Chains A and B, each alone.
Chain A
Amino acid sequence: MFNLDNSTMIWHARLEGELTIYHAFELYQALSSANMGEAPLDLDLGQVSLVDSSGVQLLVLLKKVFARHHQELRIVTCSEAVKDAVGLFGLNGFFGLTAVPVTKGTSE
C-alpha cells in the first residue's frame, strides 16, 4: 500500500475499494503504522469505489497529520466517488482536488 520513492523521497500510497466505516479501523491501522509524516505523500485514490463520512474523515486526519509535520499531502488521482464525497463536504479546496483528474468507472 505504501512505498517510499528513494530517488524523490516522496511517499506513494494507493487506497483501493471501499473507504467506509466497515474498513475504517483496518485502514487506520495500516496508515498509522506506516510512520509517515517525515516526507510528502502522493495519494492515489483512483480505485476507490465507495466513500462514506468515515472515509473522508480519515483523509482529513491524514491531511492534518501531514500539516502538523509541515509536509504536503497531494491527492494525485481520485475516483468519482471520492470527488463526490469531498465535494459534498465542501473540502475540494482543502484537499486541492479541483485540478485532480478523475478516474471513470470505479465510482458508484
Chain B
Amino acid sequence: MTKRILIVDDSASIRQVVSTTLQGAGYETIEACDGMDGLKKLDGSKINLIISDVNMPKMDGISFVKELKANPAYKFTPVIMLTTESQEDKKAQGKAAGAKAWVVKPFQPQQMLTAVEKLVM
C-alpha cells in the first residue's frame, strides 16, 4: 500500500522538490499552498503523513495543525513542521499544537526523506 503524504508550503519550489524526492522514494504526494488549502485536501482520504511549513499566508502552519488535530480522521496523522533555525519559538508552538517532528530549513532533499522515513516506513 503506497503511503500518501500531504505537503503544505507556500513555496511552489519547495513543494516540487519535496514531492519529487518523496515520489522517487515511492511515496505518493499531494500538495497544498497554505493552511487553508491544506484543510481542503483533508477530504477523508487516507494520508499517512503531513509536512507543513510554519510561515504561510492565509493560514499558518500552527493553526493548520490545530485544525488538523481536531479532525477525527487525521488527528493521529504525524506532522513534520518545516522550521528555521531562527524559529525555536515556532517549533515549540508547533509541538504544542501537535506537530512532533520537524525539519529545519534550509534542508537537503535527503534530510526530508530521512525524516519522513522515520515516521512512515
On whether the beta carbons of B1 and A108 are closer than 8 Å, the reply is yes
Residues of B within 8 A of A108 (CB): 1
- Chain B 66-82, CB within 8 Å of chain A: the 1/0 string? 00000001001000000
Determine chain B's interface SS by DSSP, over half rule. Answer: loop
Determine chain A's interface SS by DSSP, over half rule. Answer: mixed
On whether the beta carbons of B76 and A21 are closer than 8 Å, the reply is yes
A50 interface hit (Cβ, 8 Å) = yes
Q: Which residue of A lies closest to B73 (CB)?
A: A22
Residues of B within 8 A of A21 (CB): 76
Residues of A within 8 A of B73 (CB): 22
Residues of A within 8 A of B76 (CB): 21-22
- Minimum CB–CB distance from A42 to chain B (whole Å) comes to 27
Residues of B within 8 A of A49 (CB): 1
CA distance A50 to B76 in the complex (A): 16
Residues of B within 8 A of A50 (CB): 1
Q: Which residue of B lies closest to A52 (CB)?
A: B76
**Which residues of B does A touch, CB under 8 Å?**
1, 73, 76
